[in-house]
């Protein structure tokens, strides 16, 4: 099964997860880049990012050349912003025809549970059944055996 990992990463945690997964699964990656960058530090980071997430904005993305039709499975990876997915991933999901694809979900967070993020993703995808899901806590900045074990278990579910 040909797999593409589609992700957005502001601080590198979700990128870390995407790269680790790609190496373990032999998957390709697509990094989503908004045309207008989000602030990456200070209070502005939380205000602008949180507002954008809560308001379900769909920012314009830089062009990408990946042909989605060539993939059977998409792993959608996002940081948790205000309890939901990051807006660039919302743009991707709304823009692309994802019918017939199999999905798996990844969320990275600094704390808290990504359960609502996964529910929002499933609703946006129009999926009711449970999907393979991986939750990581600050994996780039605070490596842990728990994150490594979760990542390994997730990969085992997909292979």
Give the CATH number of the domain where residue 145 resides.
Answer: 3.40.50.360
CA 145, 148, 151, 156 torsion-angle sign: negative
> Is residue 47 predicted with pLDDT exceeding 70?
no
Tally of domains in the chain: 1
Q: Per residue in 15-37, is it b (16+ CB within 10 Å) or e — as a string?
A: bbbbbbbbeebebebbbbebeee
Q: What domain range is 128 assigned to?
A: 3-158
Residue 89 CB neighbour total at 10 angstroms:
25
pTM of the full predicted structure?
Answer: 0.94
pLDDT at 64: 96
| pLDDT tens track for 114-158 | 889 999 999 999 999 999 999 999 899 889 999 999 999 999 999
pLDDT at 150: 95
């Amino acid at each position: 099964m040909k797999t593409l990992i589609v992700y957005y990463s502001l601080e590198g945690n979700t990128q870390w997860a995407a790269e680790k997964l790609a190496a373990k699964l032999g998957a390709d990656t697509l990094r989503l880049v908004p045309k207008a960058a989000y602030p990456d530090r200070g209070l502005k980071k939380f205000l602008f990012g949180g507002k954008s997430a809560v308001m379900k904005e769909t920012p314009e993305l830089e062009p990408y050349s990946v042909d989605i039709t060539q993939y059977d499975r998409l792993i959608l990876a996002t940081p948790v912003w205000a309890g939901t997915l990051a807006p660039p991933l919302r743009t991707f999901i709304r823009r692309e025809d994802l019918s017939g694809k199999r999905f798996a979900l990844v969320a990275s967070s600094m704390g808290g549970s990504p359960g609502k993020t996964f529910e929002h993703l499933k609703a946006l995808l129009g999926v009711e059944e449970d999907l393979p899901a991986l939750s990581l806590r600050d994996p780039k900045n605070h490596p842990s055996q728990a994150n490594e074990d979760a990542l390994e278990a997730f990969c085992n579910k997909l292979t």
